[in-house]
Amino acid sequence: MTPIRLGLIALPWWTTFGVFLFLDLYLRYPVVGTVLRLLMPLVLLCNLAGIVMGVGRIRRDSRRAVVVGLVLNAVPPAFFAAFFLWLFFGLKM
């Protein structure tokens, strides 16, 4: 399993979670929303494993593969972390 594959496995989960979050679909489909929330730790572990593998393969893989793997694994969790910080603490962080 490569870091790019781990990022591509986790990306649909992040996308679905974001759509449910931004469109308030938790109210219309509560069971699906609950399942998404329960599976998010697995997605975070998948992203963490991808980041660790990407950093570990810096010398072996091409630069492009390392950058794509790190971007696919680091950007979605960082985006949602920043969104939740903004949501709970506002612009006065």
Summarised one tens digit per residue, pLDDT across range 31-85 is 998 999 899 999 999 999 999 999 998 889 888 999 999 999 999 999 999 988 8
For residue 87, name the pLDDT band (cuts at 50, 70, 90).
confident
The pLDDT of residue 21 is: 86
User: CB of 20 within 8 A of CB of 26?
Assistant: yes
User: CB of 68 within 8 A of CB of 4?
Assistant: yes
The pLDDT of residue 92 is: 65
Q: What phi and psi, each to the nearest 5 degrees, are found at residue 28? A: -85, -40
The pLDDT of residue 93 is: 56
Those residues whose C-beta lies under 8 Å from the C-beta of residue 65, and which sit 6 or more positions away, are 2, 3, 4, 57
Question: What CA–CA distance (Å, rounded) separates 58 from 27?
Answer: 44
Range of the domain at 48: 3-92
Average pLDDT of the residues in 1-23: 91
Looking at the structure of the chain, the number of domains it has is 1
